[in-house]
Amino acid sequence: MELKKESAKQIYEYVPGGFKKLLETEFGPDTFRKIDFRDLNSWEDLCKANGTTAAEFEARMKELPVSQTLKTVAKFELFSNGINQGWMPDTLDKTQKKWFPVFKISSVGLDFSGSSYGYDLAGASVGFPFCFESEEKSNHAGKQFIQLWEELHLRKIA
């Protein structure tokens, strides 16, 4: 049986200890290390948390015959996956808080104001895919990645 790295990552937390050691020997212990979202402070960190590099991501985006807006959405999907680390909002669960950063527009761009939450929506300008599991994660995403939010909100697409 052949086991690919991505499949190994998906089953790792569910297998017994001896098999975990075997997986770590085969793919390296860093493959299975949980990344603390607080350690994600750059675009390169986000790419690494998603098993790619910034250069690989950019190369894939250049190959796609889609608009720059859709490429920005792909970037945001990678971003929210990195911060949320597997957590996905349940769009039908009206008891689940879905956190999102709030910004005000200033003369220099966006200023992070704090985080808010909704139960059945995550802000009309943000949407479900770009909401976060906790206020702490939302605050980190809003403060640390202001340029990425500007790219999405202000269409400052490089």
Q: Where are the domains of the chain?
A: 1-33, 41-153
Q: What's residue 14's pLDDT?
A: 86
CA dist list (Å): 115 to 7, 11, 20, 27, 124: 34, 33, 38, 38, 14
Q: What's residue 54's pLDDT?
A: 93
Q: What's residue 143's pLDDT?
A: 94
At 31, is the secondary structure helix, strand, or coil?
A: helix
Q: For tokens 């910004």, what's the residue?
A: 103
Kindly report the pTM of this predicted structure: 0.74
Q: What's residue 91's pLDDT?
A: 82
Q: What's residue 2's pLDDT?
A: 86
Q: What's residue 57's pLDDT?
A: 93
Rounded to an integer, what distance in angstroms lies between the CA atom of residue 24 and that of residue 12? Answer: 9
Rounded to an integer, what distance in angstroms lies between the CA atom of residue 129 and that of residue 73? Answer: 9
For the cut 60, the answer to whether the pLDDT of residue 70 exceeds it is yes
Q: What's residue 38's pLDDT?
A: 94
For the cut 70, the answer to whether the pLDDT of residue 41 exceeds it is yes
For the cut 80, the answer to whether the pLDDT of residue 81 exceeds it is yes
Q: Which two tokens stand for residue 41?
A: 């402070």
> Which of the four pLDDT bands, split at 50, 70 and 90, describes residue 29?
confident
Give the tens place of pLDDT for each residue, 90-137. 888 889 999 999 999 888 888 999 998 887 654 444 455 688 999 999
Q: What's residue 132's pLDDT?
A: 94
Rounded to an integer, what distance in angstroms lies between the CA atom of residue 88 and that of residue 78? Answer: 13
